[in-house]
Amino acid sequence: MRIAVIGAGTIGSAVAKALAEAGYEVIATRRKIEKVKWLENYGVKLEKDNKKASKWADVVIIAVKPNKVGKILEEIEENISNKIVISLAAGIPIRLLKKFVPQAKFVRAMPNIAVLVKESFTAYSAEDLNEEDIKTVEKIFSSFGKCLKIDEEYMDAITGLSGSGPAYVSVFLEAMIYGGLKVGLPRDIARLAAAQTLLGTAKLLLELGDHPAEIRDMVITPGGTTIDGIFELEEGKIRTAIMKAIDAATKKSKILSTKIVNEE
């Protein structure tokens, strides 16, 4: 299968790399090709012309900023009829995508930057896909990490939670590293200890299927060290701050979505 990634920016480049490593034939487009020359090391073909790339491909992935999606679709319209077209642009509903190219089979998806290490969570919505199309799409998204089909009404919330999530987690991870430095750990040890702890805890949650509180209680012992740390976290209202961050990002996604729809 041949896949075109239109817009090899940060997320587009990560997607192209993951797909090439999964064995797909991939072409990626960008005006300044020299900035993504590194993709050629993974077998990705580079092209400036979106029309050529979309004509060559069986599946087209749109990975440009939301305000550029309409222009791109108008540019490649004649080459994507009856093809699966996956939009990674935040805030643009399927109904609006179909206004540009009614004959295309649109998928709206939200991966995150963990595509780079094949550990993304990718949520997607689709309306006009048959069973075979769904298998194709999920096989593609499985190259990124985990994927799940959801109702489109939840896409803004997914944007606020897992789309933006790596940024929140990075702030927490950075704080853990700084905490390690504060108590005297060398930087390389603090970094490894923090990152592996985060990775291991996430794996416990996914594999054991427990509530996060149950994992927390596995660690806490009466009068031990952990309960003192938890007390400080609760006093700092860390849970409230994270919940507010997700809520704020979700609201912003909805605002952007409404703005884009109104402008069209």
DSSP string, 125-163: EESS--HHHHHHHHHHHHTTEEEEE--GGGHHHHIIIII
Is 160 inside any structural domain? no
Is 187 inside any structural domain? yes
Answer yes or no: is pLDDT of 43 > 70.
yes
pLDDT at 128: 85
Give residue 258's pLDDT band: very low, low, confident or very high (50, 70, 90): confident
Sole residue written with tokens 């999530």: 165
pTM value > 0.85: yes
Q: CATH code at 57?
A: 3.40.50.720
For 134-166, how does the pLDDT look when each residue is reduced to its tens digit (9 = 90+)? Answer: 999 999 999 999 999 999 999 999 999 999 999
pLDDT at 6: 98
Q: Which tokens sit at 235? A: 């006093």
Q: CATH code at 222?
A: 1.10.3730.10
Sole residue written with tokens 């077998």: 43
What is the residue range of 52's domain? 2-155
pLDDT at 264: 63
For 224-245, how does the pLDDT look when each residue is reduced to its tens digit (9 = 90+)? Answer: 999 999 999 999 999 999 999 9
182 shares a domain with 105: no
Terminal-residue alpha carbon distance, the chain: 33
Q: Which of 155, 186, 217 is the last residue of a domain?
A: 155
Give residue 194's pLDDT band: very low, low, confident or very high (50, 70, 90): very high
146 shares a domain with 170: no
Answer yes or no: is pLDDT of 209 > 90.
no
The single-letter code of the amino acid at 237 is K
CB count in 10 Å sphere of residue 245:
17
